[in-house]
Structure 1
Amino acid sequence: MPIFVAQAKYTVRYSEKLPATGGFVVTPNHYSNYDPLIVGVILFRLGRVPRFMAKASLWKVPVLRGILRSTGQVPVDRTGRTRGSDPVGAGAAAIARGEGVIVYPEGSLTREPDLWPMRGKTGAVRLALEAGVPLIPMAQWGAQTIMPRYGKGFSLFPRKRIRAAFGDPVDLSAYRGRSLTQSELLEATEKVMQAITGLLQELRDGTPPAVRYDPAQHNQSEIGRFEPEK
Structure 2
Amino acid sequence: MAASPEKSRPSAFWPLAAIIVPITGLFARIEIRGAENLPREGAYVLAPNHNSEFDPVIVAVAVWRLGRAPRFMAKESLFKVPVLGAALKATGMVPVPRTSTSANQSMKAAEQIARDGRGVIVYAEGTLTRDPDLWPMRGKTGAVRLALAGDLPLIPMAQWGVQQILPRYGKLKFPRRAHVVVEIGPAMDLSAYADAPTQPATLTKATDEMMNRITAMLSGIRGLPAPAERWNPSQHGQNETGRLES
TM-score by length of 2: 0.85
Give the % identical residues: 49
1:54 is aligned with what amino acid? Answer: A
TM-score by length of 1: 0.91
- Shift, 1:89, TM fit: 1.0
Comparing 159-168 and 3-12, the one that deviates more: 3-12
Take 2:68 and 2:127, find their aligned partners in 1: how far apart are those partners? 24
Pick the aligned partner of 1:57 from 69, 77, 80: 77
Take 2:193 and 2:101, find their aligned partners in 1: how far apart are those partners? 30
8 Å CA contact 1:147–1:155 kept in 2: the answer is yes
1:156 — aligned with what?
174
Structure 1's unaligned 5+ residue stretches are 225-230
Which portions of structure 1, spanning 4 or more consecutive aligned residues, are displaced by more than 3 angstroms? 177-180, 221-224
Pick the aligned partner of 1:202 from 220, 225, 241: 220
Higher percent of residues as helix: 2
Structure 2's unaligned 5+ residue stretches are 1-19
8 Å CA contact 1:9–1:162 kept in 2: the answer is yes
Comparing 156-165 and 142-151, the one that deviates more: 156-165
Alignment of 1:1-230 (within 5 A): 1=20, 2-80=22-100, 82=102, 85-151=104-170, 153-220=171-238
1:119 is aligned with what amino acid? Answer: R
- Shift, 1:11, TM fit: 1.0
Take 2:197 and 2:211, find their aligned partners in 1: how far apart are those partners? 22
Take 2:243 and 2:192, find their aligned partners in 1: how far apart are those partners? 36
- Shift, 1:161, TM fit: 0.5
- C-alpha root-mean-square deviation of aligned residues, in Å? 1.8
Take 1:81 and 1:93, find their aligned partners in 2: how far apart are those partners? 17
> Number of residues paired by the alignment?
222
